[in-house]
Chains A and B, each alone.
Chain A
Amino acid sequence: MNLISAVDINKIYQSGEIEVPALRSVNFEIEAGSFISFIGPSGSGKTTLLNLIGCLDKPTSGKLKVAGVITSDLSRREAASFRGENLGFIFQDFNLIPVLTVYENVEYPLLLVQNLPYKERKDRVHSLLEKVGMKDQMNKYPDQISGGQKQRVAVARALVSKPRLVLADEPTANLDSKTAFMVIDIMRQMRDDYGVTFIFSTHDPKIVSEVEILFTLEDGMLVNTSKGKGGRND
């Protein structure tokens, strides 16, 4: 079953009077539960595509359907609500909230986005922190933990709201190889445990070697779709 379908997606940025095409007639489908990556050189349109899938931006033309919803038609508020219910984000720079502890960072989407009761929040946060191996660090602030630990917390935060899709933009770019593999392993484990779809944008060979499907972008066009070396753990 397709979780995402993109039909003739175009994205043009306006730079003064000059139009800069970022995506050109992109078509693809992604099944639920996939572990896939968009790859390509800088400026190829990976992040733009991820932003469109993540309802952070809208295509100039074309039809983008995510989890049964045509996201290009959503208003700002509807898009925020959709993101809160269906999507998780992992950022290259981790983007943890510095004034919140590890526990509070993971709890944030449940408390301020989904408004879940305390008990449920606590159970979910503890469970995920345990799975990413950060339960013993849960009272620390982001500036008291390492980059790898931050990204594990970011993974937990992305998954805590039980999203259908997690979008990770260059998630291993700021991590050393060992930590990067550990984080990828955790994400794949989460995919296996929860059936969450993971989409990466990267040119990191460590991720490329781990994903199941690779979409290659060049100059805003999808030029190749191939199977990766990664597969389900089951």
Chain B
Amino acid sequence: MIKLFKIALRNLIRFKRRTLLTTSLIAIGVLFVMVFIAASSSFNNIIIGQITDSMLGHIQVHKRGYMASIDSLPLTLNLSEKGWKKFQSIAEKIPEIESISPRIKFGGMFSNYMDSTNIRINGVYPDMEIATIPLLLARVKGGEKTIKKGEILIPELLATGLKVKAGDSVVVIATNKDGSVNGKQFRVSGIIESVTGPGGRDGYIHIEDAKDILRMEELEVSEVAIRINDFSKLNKINDQLTKNLSESKNKKGKPIFDIRTWEKLSPFYNISKMIDIMTIFIKLMLIAIVLVSIMNVMIMAVYERIREIGTISAIGTMPEKILVLFLIEGFSLGVIGVIIGNILAGISIFLMNLIKITFNFSRQTGYVLSPELKIGDIIFVSVVVIVMSVFATLQPAIKAAKMEPVDALRHV
């Protein structure tokens, strides 16, 4: 086998220019694919991280039926205190759940005493919310990065529109589920930056203040945001939570809870899926490059060496050895291309990190792309390219192995 490798490699060296062109083509293909995967993966991770860590959480739980009417933020579809406690006890038994944060969500009127407008508000327990949404306070651009009782964080668009700044007094008026209207005065503690997606333009108050405005005697929860300790296990944990919560049923025998991952809550998931599809197409293009270039070069190699094939066949070389000899050549082309491509990709990604490429997404600016080569991607792309190299060599190699020595020796 070593000798076959030696012969194959020497044949590749023998046709230096052709080998160089083919391996360069494969290497460039691998380079582009690896850089694209690393960059798109970094983009995805940054945006998903932003969405989940600054607003949504990894998973959200609502009372069944709430999501269908979420635009009106129906207070009648909140989880009761009993339902919330039931949920708490189930969530506590799943060690992968890092933190949970109950929210009371409601719509109301916001006034600075001169103008008024609509506002959507989240009433939260600050400690629980910050543990679940760690980037929430990073969104606070003006004022204090806190959510205290009697204070409100207002979205920046509203602050700009109504010319409200940190420290101002404002009033929030809301209708509770019984239809009675109540209002409460707040001090604006800070201005919170808007982010893309549901809830990205909501204000924040303390949950006790929300209970006051809505005249709740006991806690009623509109939604629960959940943070898990390993994002790669999102679907597994979601399945487990769904399974555990599915046992809780209402009087009609239907499940109480509606559990959704961020993917079902954020429109960015569709962009993320689009990027994944583009990645698949890029990989398919690489496969096409490898197939066409290797098949082309190996067909030429067989054609140019017909007499040589006839000679080794005449002196007794078995057809399968001739087959293997050519397969090794294709395999070697793939391996060399993959090695060079991965090295170039490593260098390119290192340089990209060095020059710090920034990008904007929606209203957010200055995200720094931090692509990295993942061992899984390297292995996957390398194996695909090498397997495709061997596959592309198969047809010319079979042709060589099946060649009749008498015809091959006669070839001019």
B407 to chain A, nearest CB (A): 9
B-side contacts of A225, CB under 8 Å: none
- Chain B residues within an 8 Å CB radius of A91: 311, 409
Is the Cβ of A112 less than 8 Å from the Cβ of B409?
A: no
Interface residue? A70 (CB, 8 A): no
Stretch from B75-83, B87-95, B187-195, B317-325 at the A interface: B317-325
Identify which of A56, A99, A109 contacts B7 (C-beta below 8 A).
A99
Tally the A-B contacts, defined by beta carbons under 8 Å: 71
- Closest residue of chain B to A93, judged by CB? B307
Residue-by-residue, is B280-311 near A (CB-CB < 8 Å gives 1, otherwise 0)? Answer: 00000000000000000000000000011011
Contact B406 A56 (CB under 8 A): yes
Contacts of A84 in B (CB 8 A): 315-317
Q: Which residues of B contact A76 (CB under 8 A)?
A: 319
B316 touches A81 (CB 8 A): yes
| Min distance, Cβ B48 to any Cβ of chain A, angstroms | 53
Contact of B316 with A80 in the complex, beta carbons under 8 Å: yes
User: Contact at B314–A56, with CB atoms within 8 Å?
Assistant: yes
Min CB gap B124→A, angstroms: 74
Is A113 touching B315 in the complex (CB atoms < 8 A)? yes
The interface residues of chain B, by DSSP majority, are classed as helix
Inter-chain contacts of A83 with B (CB < 8 A)? 314-316
Rounded to whole angstroms, the CA-CA distance of A114 and B321 in the bound complex is 12
Among candidates B7, B315, B317, B409, residue contacting A100 with C-beta atoms closer than 8 Å: B7
Q: Name the residue of chain A whose CB is nearest to the CB of B2.
A: A111
Q: Which of B4, B13, B308, B406 contacts A51 (CB 8 A)?
A: B406
Contact bitstring A56-77, B, C-beta under 8 A = 1, else 0: 1100000000000000000011
Most interface-central of B7, B307, B405 (chain A CB within 10 A): B405
Residues of B within 8 A of A99 (CB): 7, 10-11, 13-14
Q: Identify the closest chain B residue to A113 (Cβ).
A: B316
With contacts A54-B314, A95-B307, A97-B312 known, is A80 near B319, CB below 8 A?
A: yes
The reply on A157 being an interface residue by CB < 8 A is yes
Do A81 and B308 touch across chains, with their CB atoms under 8 A apart?
no
Residues of chain B within 8 A (CB-CB) of A95 are: 307-308, 310-311, 409
Bound-state CA distance A97–B325 (Å) is 13
* Cross-chain contact of B319 among A77, A108, A161 (Cβ < 8 A): A77
Q: A51-B406, A57-B406 known; A77 and B318 CB under 8 Å? A: yes
Asked if A198 is at the interface (CB within 8 A of a chain B CB), the reply is no
In the complex, which residues 79-126 of chain A have their Cβ closer than 8 Å to any Cβ of chain B? 80-85, 87-89, 91, 93, 95, 97-100, 108-109, 111-114
Instruction: Give the residue name and chain of the A residue nearest to B307 (CB).
Output: A95
- Taking the closest CB of chain A, its distance from the CB of B347, in whole angstroms, is 32
Q: How far is the CB of A116 from chain B (nearest CB, A)?
A: 12
The winner among A80, A111, A113, A114 for most chain B CB atoms within 10 A is: A80
**How distant is A148 from chain B, measured CB to nearest CB, in Å?**
19
Question: Quick check: is B3 within 8 A (CB to CB) of the other chain?
Answer: yes
Closest to A89 in B: B314
B313 within 8 A of A: yes
Alpha-carbon distance A161/B308, docked complex (angstroms): 19
| Residue in A closest to B310 when the chains form the complex, CB atoms | A95
How far, in whole Å, are A89 and B409 apart by their CA atoms in the complex? Answer: 12
Q: Is the CB of A108 within 8 A of B14?
A: no
Q: Are B406 and A112 in contact (CB under 8 A)?
A: no
**CA of A145 to CA of B11 in the docked complex: distance in angstroms?**
19
CB distance from B325 to the nearest CB of A (A): 9
**Contact flags (1/0) for B319-346 with A, using CB distance below 8 Å?**
1010000000000000000000000000
* Cα separation A87 to B405 with both chains bound (whole Å): 14
A37 vs B8: C-alpha distance when bound (angstroms): 37
A99, B317: Cα distance in complex, Å: 17
- Asked whether B11 lies within 8 Å of A112 as measured between CB atoms, the reply is no
Q: A56-B405, A99-B14, A100-B10 known; A113 and B317 CB under 8 Å?
A: yes
Q: Give the distance to chain A from B302, nearest Cβ to Cβ, in Å.
A: 15
Q: Residues of B contacting A100 with CB < 8 Å?
A: 7, 10
A46 to B3: give the CA distance in the assembly, Å.
35
Closest residue of B by beta carbon distance from A169: B409
* B-contact bits for A161-183, CB 8 A (1 contact / 0 none): 10000000000000000000000
User: In the complex, A114→B4 CA distance in Å?
Assistant: 14
CB contacts (< 8 Å) of B11 on chain A: these are 99
- When distances are taken between beta carbons in the complex, the residues of chain B under 8 Å from A77 are 318-319
Contact of A112 among B3, B10, B307, B404 (CB under 8 A): B3
Nearest chain B residue, comparing its CB with the CB of A99: B10
CB nearest neighbor in A for B321 = A112
Tell whether, in the assembled complex, residue A108 and residue B312 are in contact, meaning their CB atoms are under 8 Å apart.
yes
A67, B13: Cα distance in complex, Å: 41
Give CA–CA (A62, B227) in the complex, Å: 86
22 residue pairs from A and B, CB less than 8 Å apart:
A54-B314, A56-B314, A56-B406, A56-B409, A77-B319, A80-B318, A80-B319, A84-B315, A87-B316, A91-B311, A91-B409, A95-B310, A95-B409, A98-B14, A99-B11, A99-B13, A99-B14, A108-B315, A112-B4, A112-B321, A114-B316, A161-B315
Interface residue ranges, A against B (CB under 8 Å): 51, 54, 56-57, 76-77, 80-85, 87-89, 91, 93, 95, 97-100, 108-109, 111-114, 157, 161
Known: A57-B406, A99-B7, A99-B10. 20 other contacts (CB 8 A): A54-B314, A56-B409, A76-B319, A80-B316, A80-B318, A80-B319, A82-B316, A83-B316, A88-B315, A91-B409, A97-B308, A99-B14, A100-B10, A108-B315, A112-B4, A112-B312, A113-B315, A113-B317, A114-B316, A161-B316
Interface residues, chain B, CB within 8 Å of chain A? Answer: 3-4, 7, 10-11, 13-14, 307-308, 310-319, 321, 404-406, 409
